[in-house]
Amino acid sequence: MTPADQSSAVTLEAIEAAAARIAGHIRRTPMIEVGQVRQRPVPNPLFLKLESLQVTGAFKARGAINRLLTTPPAMLEKGIVTASGGNHGMAVARAGFLAQVPTTIYLPPNASRAKIKSLADWNATVRIVGNKWDDADAAARAQAESEGAIYFHPFKDPDVVIGQGTVALEMLDQVPDIDVYLVAIGGGGLISGLATAVHARNPKARIIGIEPVGSPTLHAALEAGGPVQLERQWTRVATMSCGKTAPLIYDIVSKHVEEIVLVEDDQLLAAARWILSEFSIRADLSAAAAIAALSLGKIRLQPHERVGTLICGADDAALDPPE
């Protein structure tokens, strides 16, 4: 399937079909309005979709289970392999557990210790390789090819992107009149699926991505007019680290995403601690991206605009003492 074919496969109709397909395998997570806090990130109405309460602790369960349910069982017999910053690995480990096939997760060394332990709890084999996610991806691909296992890619796979887009359908149902959607970016699967669904239902909505300064993958791609390989990455946020996006993702993002703003790792950590303090939610650093960007004034908002974002994953990063 060419990148153009892959992009055309990611449609509202496909996302709606995926929502029906995975309904019995995921949780419909709540959406809350930010209120009764000591200091608001912005005066605008702000809504949080709590995907930290999703199965395995992140929205990634949606894409992984949709990929599993659209895969012929015969293709799963030799197992599943993937590379992940943590959240996708957790979701794929659960998928392998449900399918009762061997599952191997490759991780970079900056992956969360808590998530590594949880992967083992799902009976997955965990392998930590290289210095960054791209190294883990290369190793995972090599194993899949040599053993005949199936590779569940975290963002290059249309079925994964379509699965991630189901979160937007819930957000549109729970708070229909959101004007601005803020989405953290790792490889770009979430923002691609969400943007497709949102703009099919509400073409006037603004969609803005957030990346770490140390891994500006899609920011660089949009500036260059196509996917580019980053010369280096220095973010310590494994779930937001990716050296190069896919043509599928670039094609969708370039059509639907208004802009991508960049934040520092320490700003993500401060925002995660704010979320923990105000809501007792253990957000991972990617889940704090929108709060960080809003608090820093990086998002241009009109007074009337209503803002929605996702607490897209859970972790104990906000509990770590300051360095």
Residues 195-222: tens digit of each pLDDT: 999 999 999 999 999 999 999 999 999 9
Q: In this structure, are 34 and 141 located in the same domain?
A: no
The distance from CA 22 to its chain's CA centroid, rounded to whole angstroms, is 17
Domains: count for the chain: 2
Give first-to-last CA distance, the chain, whole Å: 46
For residue 208, give the DSSP letter: E
Average pLDDT score over residue span 107-127 = 88
Closest C-alpha among 39, 111, 177, 77 to residue 313 = 111
| AA letter at 138 | A
Residue span of the structural domain in which 175 resides: 3-59+157-319
Q: In this structure, are 192 and 102 located in the same domain?
A: no
Whether the pLDDT of residue 28 is over 90: the answer is yes
Q: In this structure, are 110 and 233 located in the same domain?
A: no
Whether the pLDDT of residue 115 is over 90: the answer is no
Least confident stretch, 11-15, 114-118, 206-210, 226-230: 114-118
Q: In this structure, are 146 and 165 located in the same domain?
A: no
Is there a contact between 306 and 293 (Cβ–Cβ < 8 Å)? no
| Boundary-marking domain end, from 107, 125, 151 | 151
| Boundary-marking domain end, from 151, 179, 206 | 151
**% of the chain with per-residue pLDDT over 90:** 88
Whether the pLDDT of residue 319 is over 70: the answer is no
Between CA 235 and CA 231 the distance in angstroms is 13
Q: In this structure, are 145 and 213 located in the same domain?
A: no
116 confidence band (pLDDT: 50, 70, 90): confident
Q: In this structure, are 199 and 239 located in the same domain?
A: yes
* 3 state DSSP class of 48: strand
For residue 210, give the DSSP letter: E
Residue 321: per-residue pLDDT? 45
Residue 323: per-residue pLDDT? 43
- The CATH number of whichever domain residue 232 belongs to comes to 3.40.50.1100
∠ CA 209-210-216, nearest 5°, is 105
Q: In this structure, are 146 and 196 located in the same domain?
A: no
Q: In this structure, are 83 and 132 located in the same domain?
A: yes
Q: In this structure, are 276 and 247 located in the same domain?
A: yes
Q: In this structure, are 168 and 301 located in the same domain?
A: yes
Whether the pLDDT of residue 3 is over 90: the answer is no
Is there a contact between 59 and 190 (Cβ–Cβ < 8 Å)? yes
Residue 4: per-residue pLDDT? 64
Average pLDDT score over residue span 289-296 = 98
Q: In this structure, are 97 and 8 located in the same domain?
A: no
Give pTM, 2 decimals: 0.94
Summary mean pLDDT of the chain = 94
| Boundary-marking domain end, from 125, 151, 177 | 151
